[in-house]
Amino acid sequence: MRFNKRFLTTTMVSLGLLIFINLRAHALASTDNDNLPTKQGLDNLSMQELDRFATVIQQVHRYYVEPIDNKKLIDYAISGMLSSLDPHSDYLDEDALKDLETATTGKFGGIGIEILPSDGFIKVVSPIDDTPAYESGIKAGDLIVRINNQLVRDMTLRDALNMIRGKSGTKVHLTILRKNNKSPLEFNVVRKIIKVKTVKTELYPDNYGYIRLSFFQTSTRGDLVREIKKLEQKAKGNLKGVILDLRDNPGGLLDSAVDTTELFLDSTHLKYNGLVVYTKGRIPSSDIKAFATENDMLKGIPMVVVINEGSASAAEIVAGALQDQKRATLVGQKSFGKGSVQTVIGIDDTSAIKLTTALYYTPASRSIQATGIEPDIEIPAITIPKPNSENEDSILISEADLEKHLPNNAKNDTDTSREEIIDKKDRDLLYSDFTLYQALNVLRGLRASMTMSNY
């Protein structure tokens, strides 16, 4: 991976609860020109405005129903100022900074959801695989309206985070509104220390590989390389294609997303000079470019990337780059649309601010912010009901099912019974995950097209 700038501080490309960070970033005050907006801002801050702020603090001290110290008031003021800018800028106190440091290791406390303020409520961007939230049935797009029976309307993200977090083994009660559900849903979720495995793989029949990435952290690239090698071994060197599943992946580390993307790219055969992603901000040091440097680990075999509304931030970087570079076909539903970059700037030894400093763009100069990534093939997120034993035969009937049918005594190497075609290969996947079932069909089609083009 090549970057056009040296990374000095911390850049965020994720959302809320898990506070994923990128360990490589850029300095906001690296040049005199970069500092210029800050100086102008201070010069334009009049004494009248400062007096107004001091008067508010004085009146709170005099009239508020309970005594409150100056440090807490200043913290509240900073937090309110930043959260009013956009949903991703925030004030990080000592506890939040500790969360920031531990999140990238893949081990943290909580219930395992990524959340964001949304019109006075708290929106679930995605549950993380194999976490309490995921196992409880919480889904991307759910709106949390109560936490422990307290209304969240106009609650700050920090307040919501503090209420959702807690000691391992304790419960948090969430009241949730879900699209197409008339009544609120109630969840009692047991908190625990979460150890997330970011990469899972499976080999489907006929040597088609499946890779699930739940989010991007420091170990993701190494884990992915090992899992791909295992898939190739299982396929005995004849891996025909790969599905990369980024559904409900809330993002993570920018450098991890770039490292993941370049595993599937051959930089000698790419458009846009091998660009993976770039950012543009208000000051020069906010501008970053990342380029692919690796050879394609999969050696050009067909790829299908699956996305949905829970695919956000770093996941969108991967999907957008593979789409722009014509390396993969994207299927599923439109992604979340989180295309802004947050930089963590230290204030003192125990606090910092997380400030939106740039937007990121795909190699073809597409901004994802508030628009998302559109799949090449849209597949609705629907569930195919599994037939029961009484009506199963009414779903699929052929000549072979009829009583006293004439047998076919001809020998045919390609002859396969309906049971083998429907039940053993695809039936379980059809009922358990329709989107993935269709993605596998697309991958088979890509492989067939590639094979035909070789003749």
| 271 tagged catalytic | no
Q: Are 146 and 175 in contact (CB under 8 A)?
A: yes
313 is catalytic: yes
- Sheet with 329-332: list strands edge to edge: 199-204, 208-213, 241-245, 303-307, 329-332, 377-378
Kindly name the residue from 248, 338, 340, 433 that is annotated as catalytic.
Answer: 338
Annotation says 338 is catalytic: yes
Could you give the CA distance from residue 248 to residue 114 in angstroms, rounded to a whole number?
9
> CA–CA separation, 144 vs 106, rounded Å?
24
Residue among 246, 173, 238 at smallest CA distance from 207: 238
State the Cα–Cα distance between residues 363 and 277, nearest whole angstrom. 6
Q: List CB contacts of 222: < 8 A, sequence separation 6 or more.
A: none
Q: Three-state SS for 381?
A: coil
Radius of gyration of the chain from its Cα atoms, rounded to whole angstroms? 26
User: In angstroms, what CA-CA distances link 137 with 116, 124, 174, 188, 245?
Assistant: 18, 12, 12, 11, 19
Active-site residue (options: 79, 214, 267, 313): 313
Are 392 and 418 a contacting pair, CB within 8 Å?
A: no
Question: CA–CA separation, 199 vs 290, rounded Å?
Answer: 23
Beta bridge partners of 195: 107
215-to-5, 21, 233, 332, 379 alpha-carbon distances in Å: 25, 12, 25, 18, 22
> What residue has token string 């309110």?
80
Q: Identity (one letter) of the amino acid at 189?
A: V
Closest CA to 126 of 291, 219, 237, 248: 248
Q: Which of 90, 324, 335, 433 is catalytic?
A: 324
Q: Evaluate whether 311 touches 248 at the Cβ level (below 8 Å).
A: yes
Do 251 and 20 contact (CB within 8 A), yes or no? yes
Which residues are marked as active site? Answer: 313, 324, 338
